[in-house]
Structure 1
Amino acid sequence: MEARKNPEYLRSIAAAVLEFRAALVEFLDLHVRNEGSGGWGGIARGIAPAVFPRDGTDPDEIERRRTKVSRLSGLAGAAVPLTNIAIRVQGVGVIDPIAAWQTITQPKPVLEAPDILGACDQALGRLDGLILEAEAELPPAVGAAAMHSLVWGAAARLWRDGHFREAVAGAAESVVAMVKTRTKRNDLAATALWQEIFSNKEPESGKPRLRWPGDPTHQDVITMNAGLRFLAPGIQMTIRNNAAHSTSELDEQAALERLAALSLLARWVDECDLHEAPNSSTT
């Protein structure tokens, strides 16, 4: 995805600019500005450095803060081409205010501290605008994060760490737990549970069933109920059991396809009606 159209990337650059700006302010706290009056003001601006260390300041602390600003300028500099905050300096040309920040401490500085701080503020404002534009142009959410909330909620942390098989296993367990909670059936192993709740038998006391909504004599409803009767245990045996008991890792695509199956099953379970026997103890 193009950088200017990726909201998460733009947010990371904005955060980097904020960190750089804050570190620069900390660095400037140990300095006085050559502003043309009092103190260092007798030294010609444009020839002498734009800032001087305060009297009595620990040189090691100045160097520590300088190093921090330099390090943070690396990522923050990505904001310059994105936001067009380069500064044109007469007789010098176009200057990157973040990359050139150290010139304020050198003779004949091409920039002054307010130039750099102002450029950071401008970059942050423009990044906010780019983020809004990028979010407005985003296509509908697809992929793992768009799965059923229960499935992705159980898988997300492991998925982001690259543990795809464990993420699938965790998601499968969460779907089973959801069904156990809804039916109050904690007395069965998972595969048997799926077979019981989608059984074509009438509900019994303590044995509710899940049924696709609609007229039970309608062919579409009959088909869905029959399909779920085989699909749910099949997903349990082929996806959950394999993910839970295998020691081999899944690649991302294979894991994504398994999460999609679990997500679809979870959505269909959500849509089903719970049928209970009269005076059932599960009510």
Structure 2
Amino acid sequence: MATYSAEYLKRLLAAVRRFEEVFGRWMETQEESDHVQSRGLFPTVRNKDGQDRATIRRLELDVAEAAGAAARAVTITGAQIAVAGVGVLDPIENWSLMSAPKALFTPQEVRTTAARVRGRLSTMISEAEAAAESATPGFAPSELHEVIWTAAAAHWTTHQYRVAVREASEALTVHWKERLGRNDVDDTVFWQQSLSPGEPERGRPKLAWPGDPTDKTNRSMRGGMEPLAKALNSLATGLNLTVRNVATHTRDELSEQEGMERLAAYSYFARLLDQCEIRRAEEAEST
């Protein structure tokens, strides 16, 4: 079964409503009957006495144009009518047959078809919107890195997004300071020293991306391991300058979207750090 976007179905719905509008104006110029009154031999509409023919012709063109735009909706919704001896027809597309001898449709059948199409389109639009919403990947803050979300959760749930970001950024620094035993330096200096190139010094362990830094065949990043390791240092600096410092030294509140983006950036950084090796000058081997 074909599926249609909610926007496309809404355009069809608008086309059907336009048809109903112009059809109603045209019917104001017509005498209306049904199959019983016409005895199945005559038209089910005819011009009212005293109506201006030029006006009627103009209205008929409007109806024809609107019917052309709305006819697709009848097919999509399956609202055609079975006519004995003829087959399945679309009353909207064939509205003009009401003016012919042995008319196949009555005005009420055209109106009923349009109403049925509107109802089915409305249901299809709701279903399409629900399907689109369920197909969109959801964002669950609780699935962020444990260190990030644990620090942010209490503030996030009370809609204090700036504070949540600030606490998460500081928690990550505290987490790694404790793991490396580096409570002797400020935060910025800590990241600069811990992620800088070169060998660790006594009392200054470093976080290093695993692998041979001279390996040019590693596919983690073009150029090998060395630029990837340097990128971690730049990432830490960039996040501290653009996220942590702003969240700490200003009182401008963040929107939920802005908060999510900043927490996600720190969560990704935290996961990268988890993959790093801790290298200490005192140890013979990396841990």
Counterparts of 2:99 and 2:240 in 1: how far apart (Å)? 69
Structure 1: tracts of 5 or more residues without a match: 147-181, 183-208, 235-262, 273-283
Distance 1:3 1:217 in 2: 55
CA RMSD between the two structures:
3.8
* Equivalent residue, structure 2, for 1:26: 25
The code of the aligned residue for 2:31 comes to V
Q: How does 1:119-158 map to 2 (within 5 A)?
A: 119-138=113-132, 139-141=134-136
Aligned equivalents of 2:127, 2:43: Cα separation in 1: 40
Structure 2 CA distance for aligned equivalents of residues 228 and 58 of structure 1: 79
Amino acid at match of 1:212: S
- C-alpha contact 2:80 2:90 (8 A) present in aligned 1: yes
Task: Please say if residues 212 and 271 of structure 1, whose CA atoms lie closer than 8 Å, have aligned partners that are also in contact.
Answer: no
Please give the per-residue CA displacement for 1:169-216, whole angstroms capped at 9, x wherever unaligned.
xxxxxxxxxxxxx9xxxxxxxxxxxxxxxxxxxxxxxxxx99834253
Quickly say closer, same or farther: Cα 1:270–1:137, change in 2 above 3 A. Answer: closer
Task: Look up the match of 1:7.
Answer: 6
Q: Give the deviation of 1:47 after TM superposition.
A: 1.9
Task: Work out whether 1:103 is the aligned partner of 2:97.
Answer: yes
Pick from 75, 80, 93: which aligns with 1:81? 75
Task: Rate the CA distance shift 1:26–1:230 in 2: closer, same or farther, 3 A.
Answer: same
Q: Which residue in the other structure is 2:51 paired with?
A: 57
SS at match of 2:103: coil
Identity of aligned residues (%): 28
Rg larger in structure: 2
- 1:48 alignment counterpart: 42
Q: Where does residue 175 of structure 2 map in the other structure?
A: 218
Give the match's secondary structure for 1:52. Answer: strand
Call closer, same or farther: CA 1:270–1:210 in 2, change over 3 Å: farther
Q: Distance in 2 between matches of 1:97 and 1:36?
A: 15
1:54–1:214 CA distance, 2 compared to 1 (3 A): same
Would you say 1:69 and 2:77 are equivalent positions?
Answer: no
Change in Cα spacing, 1:8 to 1:107, as seen in structure 2 (3 Å) is same
- Residue range with higher mean Cα deviation, 215-224 or 125-134: 215-224
TM-score by length of 2: 0.51
Q: Is the alpha carbon distance of 1:233 and 1:104 closer, same or farther for their aligned partners in structure 2, counting shifts above 3 Å?
A: farther
- How far apart are the structure 2 equivalents of 1:6 and 1:36? 39
Corresponding position of 1:186:
none
Cα separation, 2, equivalents of 1:34 and 1:231? 76
Could you say if the C-alpha distance between residues 228 and 131 of structure 1 is closer, same or farther in structure 2, counting changes exceeding 3 Å? farther
Rounded Cα–Cα distance in structure 1 between residues aligned with 2:35 and 2:104:
16
Tell me, yes or no, if the aligned pair for 2:33 and 2:106 is still in contact at 8 Å. no
Structure 2 counterpart SS, 1:32: strand
Q: Is residue 2:93 matched to residue 1:94?
A: no
Inter-partner Cα distance in structure 2 for 1:59 and 1:219: 87
Contact 1:23/1:68 (8 A) holds in 2 = yes
* Alignment match, 1:260: none
The code of the aligned residue for 2:98 comes to I
**Deviation at residue 46 of structure 1 after TM alignment:** 2.2
Gaps of 5+ in 2: 140-161, 178-186, 196-231, 243-256, 267-287
Q: TM-score, normalised by structure 1?
A: 0.51
The equivalent position to 1:118 in structure 2, one of 106, 112, 130, is 112
Following superposition, the deviation at residue 56 of structure 1 comes to 1.1
DSSP 3-state at the match of 1:212: helix
SS of structure 2 residue aligned to 1:4: coil
CA distance in structure 2 between the aligned counterparts of 1:233 and 1:134, rounded to whole angstroms? 43
